[in-house]
Amino acid sequence: MNLINAILQGIFLGAFYAVLACGLSIMFGVMRIINLAHGDLAVLGAYLMLVVVEHTGVSPLIAFVAALPLMIAFGYVLHVIVLERSIKSSILTPLLATFGLSIVIQNVLQLTFSPDVRSLGGSAGSLTTASWQVVSGLSISALGVVILAVALVVFGALQLFLSRTRAGWMMRATAEDADAAELIGINSKRVYAGATAIAVAIAALGGLFLGIRSVFDPVSGPTQLIFAFEAVVIGGMGSLWGTLLGGLTLGVAQTLGAQIQPQFAVLGGHLVFLAVLILRFGTGRVVLRTA
Amino acid sequence: MSLLSVDGLDCRYGLLQAVRDVSFEINNGETLALIGANGAGKTTLLRAIAGAHRPHGGRITYNGRDIGGLAAHRRVGLGLALVPEGRRLFPGLTVEENLRIAARGLGRRWTVQTVLDLFPILQPRRHAVAASLSGGEQQAVAIGRALMGNPSLLLLDEVSLGLAPVVVDAVYRSLKDIIAEGATVLLVEQDLTRALKVATRVLCMLEGRIVLEGEARSLDRDRVVSAYFGLRRPA
């Protein structure tokens, strides 16, 4: 029973990692950018929601809806004024630019909100505590189910967007060959900015879940980035469903590791990540796949 | 007034000068063939006109407007379309998706349906991903994709490259249909006979310069060949 419970909790945890990883995967798949500020963008989103919650007393879910347009706009502008220039110069520049962005976000958050640990869980009401007992010793938390359901909806919606809409085809075309895309009239800069906007919006969703299920402070970002990055790599870089699978695998590996010994939780995830890295080394295909 | 006029164009890759002081014009309804050996600068010239290569100097005027500073995607909006060397399809997209993302100017001559009518071989492959197509099918999609933008000037870069002769014949038959409808075409072609057959006017490039220019029917083959290889440089 303990094992089943661990796997089940691992899937819920993994769904959270998958949401965190989703935006990272999009940006890598479309622009070949590894966004080192991705975790910080999630934390930035969480703080934004915290401000809304503290000023209006609404639930964090409504605060997320309020923060979403801001995060989308932030992502778009971020691409236009920072990332677009950096991808033009060399492959290392975006890495440096997003690393710098990460530091800037952390310090702005420190200055504005102090280094205190915060959470959105307290204002989320019964969502954080509700659970269903399936059998004795095995219960399912409402929050876990919500996160898993949202993760499936997000990945499903992205799949539909990329495979069914003209904008999605344009995004895939630009990811495959930006130069050729320009030659048929696609504004690659705008497509990239759109991809960044989507990625930052989903990062904010990750920030919401982070804030509800646990706590965050201004320097929580890099830890979230590591988990998101591991999920992306385990799932095969640039592959959408692979990222979901990678997140779930990471979550299960961590809870199984914790079964052996509580300190082994994070280690379990790292070991799976390293194993995948070694197995894939040299054979990694990096294109934005939809299936 | 000419549709496209190129004036004193210089293109460089670092220190290498690929196009040197090239000037020419294309009038509406003309088919201009650009010939020359490998490395003569033909592809670079076409890419510069399409906006994929930033020229070092010179002017490109299209419909009376200086387009030298416009991004490639803006030039497509003005009616320029390039079928790039190597076809450059989006391999993960289907034939239809490749065509539909290039659609511009609704209700005009070229739609997915009319492109499929022009290239009947694509009809059964409509939902196949581009990566699974044969070379000839890929070339057809590449030309069709450019047509989807309903261009007033079509730039074709080595459409016969790497294709079997039978397939090249089929591609050129379709091309003749397009030209017969009054399209303005600038095409790069290695095959001299084919170029002279399809074009109204021929430009021959050598080492980045235009060394010979004339009406296709008035040019005699020997003169073209010597210009092509630089045997006898016209003064």
Measured between its terminal Cα atoms, the distance across chain B in Å is 28
Are A184 and B146 inside 8 Å of each other by CB? Answer: yes
For chain B, say whether A38 makes contact (Cβ under 8 Å). Answer: no
CB contact under 8 A, B93 and A183: no
Q: What is the DSSP code string of A215-266?
A: -B-TT-HHHHHHHHHHHHHHT-TTBHHHHHHHHHHHHHHHHHHHHH-TTHHH
> Mean pLDDT, to the nearest integer, of B33-44?
92
Note the pLDDT of residue A287.
46
Query: Are A173 and B90 in contact (CB < 8 Å)?
Result: yes
φ, ψ dihedrals at A101, nearest 5°: -60, -40
| Host H or E run for residue B50 | helix B42-50
The label of the residue with tokens 């920030």 reads: A207
Closest to A179 (Cβ–Cβ): which among B52, B81, B101?
A: B52
Q: Give me the residue from B73, B93, B98 closest to A185, CB to CB.
A: B73
φ, ψ at B43 (rounded to 5°): -65, -40
- What's the gap in Å between the CA of A172 and the closest CA on chain B? 8
Q: For residue B190, what pLDDT is reported?
A: 83
Q: Name the nearest CA neighbour of A189 among B71, B66, B97.
A: B71
Nearest CA in chain A to B77: A185
Closest partner residue to B149 (CB to CB) among A169, A181, A184 is A184
Q: Give the model's pLDDT for residue B230.
A: 80
Phi, psi of B63 (to 5 degrees): 55, 35
pLDDT at residue B71 is higher than 90: yes
Give the nearest chain A residue to B99 (CA atoms): A184
What is the pLDDT at residue B85? Answer: 92
Residue A285's pLDDT is 52
First-to-last CA distance in chain A? 34
Alpha-carbon distances of A47 from A15, A70, A108, A210, A220, rounded to whole Å? 21, 12, 11, 11, 11
Q: Residue A129's pLDDT is what? A: 84
Of A170, A183, A288, which has the smallest distance from its Cβ to B76's Cβ?
A183
Lowest mean pLDDT among B40-44, B124-128, B229-233: B229-233
**pLDDT digit string (tens) for B207-234?**
999 999 988 888 878 888 888 888 765 5
Is the pLDDT confidence value at B161 over 90?
A: no
Handedness of CA B24, B27, B32, B38 (dihedral sign): positive
Residues in chain A with CB shorter than 8 Å from the CB of B91 are 176
- Whole-number Å distance between alpha carbons of A286 and B18: 33
Q: Which residue of A has its CA nearest to B51?
A: A183
Name B235's Cβ contacts closer than 8 Å, sequence gap at least 6: none
Contact A169 B73 (CB under 8 A): no
> Are the Cβ atoms of B92 and A183 closer than 8 angstroms?
no
Q: Which residues contact A209 (CB under 8 A, 6 or more apart)?
A: A16, A19, A20, A147, A150
Query: pLDDT truncated to tens, each residue of chain A (291 aa)?
Result: 789 999 999 999 999 999 999 999 999 999 999 999 999 999 999 999 999 999 999 999 999 999 999 999 999 999 999 999 999 888 899 999 999 999 999 999 999 999 999 999 988 888 888 888 888 878 899 999 999 999 999 999 999 999 999 999 999 999 999 999 999 999 999 999 999 999 999 999 999 999 999 999 999 999 999 999 999 999 988 789 999 999 999 999 999 999 999 889 999 999 999 999 888 765 555 444 544
Q: Least CB-CB distance to B84: which of A169, A183, A290?
A: A183
Q: What is the pLDDT of residues B94-123, one digit of tens each?
A: 999 999 999 987 768 899 999 999 999 999
Decide if A54 touches B, using CB distance below 8 A.
Answer: no
The answer to which of A35-39, B153-157, B173-177, B224-228 has the lowest mean pLDDT is B224-228
Chain A CB contacts of B84 under 8 Å are 180, 183
DSSP state letter for B32: E
Structure tokens at B20: 């040197």
Q: Which of B34, B65, B18 is nearest to B186 (CA)?
A: B34
Q: How many CB pairs under 8 A join A and B?
A: 68
Is A240 exposed, middle or buried (CB count within 10 Å of its CB: 0-12, 13-18, 19+)?
A: buried
List, for residues B74-100, the tens digit of each pLDDT value.
999 999 999 999 999 999 999 999 999
Listed in sequence order, the residues at least 6 apart from B216 whose beta carbon sits closer than 8 Å to its beta carbon are B33, B195, B196, B197, B199, B200, B201, B202
Which of A159, A170, A176, A183 is the best mutation test for B, with the most CBs of B within 10 A?
A183
